[in-house]
Amino acid sequence: MLTEKLEQLKVIFAEMGQALIAYSGGVDSSLVAKIAYDVLGDRALAVTAVSPSLLPEELEDASLQAATIGIPHKIIETHEMENPNYTSNPVNRCYFCKSELHDTLKSLAVEMGYPYVVDGVNADDLHDYRPGIQAAKERGARSPLAEVGITKAEVRQLSQQLGLPWWNKPAQPCLSSRFPYGEEITVAKLQRVGRAEIYLRKLGWQNLRVRSEGDTARIELPPEQIQKFVLNTDLPSVVSRFQEFGFTYVTLDLEGYRSGKLNQVLNQKR
């Protein structure tokens, strides 16, 4: 079944002839980039958008992974932080982010002669609240993984089969997803969240989020790691570093990390 889906993906890219990939360096877009390059060679181009909501380490990873795949890689800038519809952080914030991204990518694709812009949206994404998907569709972007029904688990399985060493890389959505809807997003807030997460990853905690609400940082870890974190981490040092980053209070979420947790507010309202 998965082999058939892989063949369907190859057919899609072969029919495209040329493709520009919205490439974040995450496991989804990296798989798309790998298959596109295998089929199209230098007629495939991976493009990474840089803005304050992207960790510098993520850009470095994206560049290294593109080099490993062999696909040509271009870095551009997007300016969603200049749009108050984005920085005011409404529930459809991602719509304005992806609008900026895909307007920029579409213009680049036209300029460089690429007939298609594709992204890494998978089949599971279609069942979550993802207003950015609508923005991409409105601008003609295609989502080959979703088109053939490939789930997140299958993305990782295929990536492993194809020899991509980052197949189990934790998901890393943009830093703006760390803030509750309605709280204004600023460059300073994004930077302090980013520095806090980098600090914890250097301590060995990879799959995590630092949620930011006002002056409070809330650390989310997988539930099975919470006790280990409390027992094996120098908590006063963590608090001190977070305060250096600009937070006043530092808390630990006892429920643990869960993707899309901030969307539970939307579900409660519904």
* Gap between the Cα atoms of 233 and 69, Å rounded: 37
Which 3 state secondary structure label does DSSP give 187?
A: helix
H/E stretch holding 220 reads strand 216-220
Query: Cα(106)–Cα(133) distance, rounded to whole angstroms?
Result: 15
Quote the CA–CA distance of 218 and 29 in Å, as a whole number.
28
Distance of CA 58 to the CA centre of its chain: 9
- Going by C-alpha positions, the residue among 53, 30, 39 that lies closest to residue 119 is 30
Between CA 151 and CA 235 the distance in angstroms is: 38
Q: Record the tokens describing residue 209, joined without a space.
A: 């989020």
What secondary structure letter does DSSP report for 43? G
CA distance 162 to 27: 12
Q: What domains does the chain contain, in order, with CATH numbers?
A: 2-161 (3.40.50.620), 175-269 (3.30.300)
CA angle 221, 170, 267 (to 5 degrees): 65
Neighbours of 168 (CB within 10 A): 12
User: Phi/psi class of residue 249: alpha, beta or left (left: φ > 0; alpha: ψ in -120 to 50)?
Assistant: beta
Q: One digit per residue, pLDDT tens: the chain, 270 residues?
A: 899 999 999 999 999 999 999 999 999 999 999 999 999 999 999 999 999 998 888 899 999 999 999 999 999 999 999 999 999 999 999 999 999 999 999 999 999 999 999 999 999 999 888 999 999 999 999 999 999 999 999 999 999 999 999 999 988 889 999 999 999 999 999 999 999 999 999 999 999 999 999 999 999 999 999 999 999 999 999 999 999 999 999 999 999 998 766 666 555 554
User: Which among 94, 22, 35 is positioned nearest to 70, based on CA atoms?
Assistant: 35
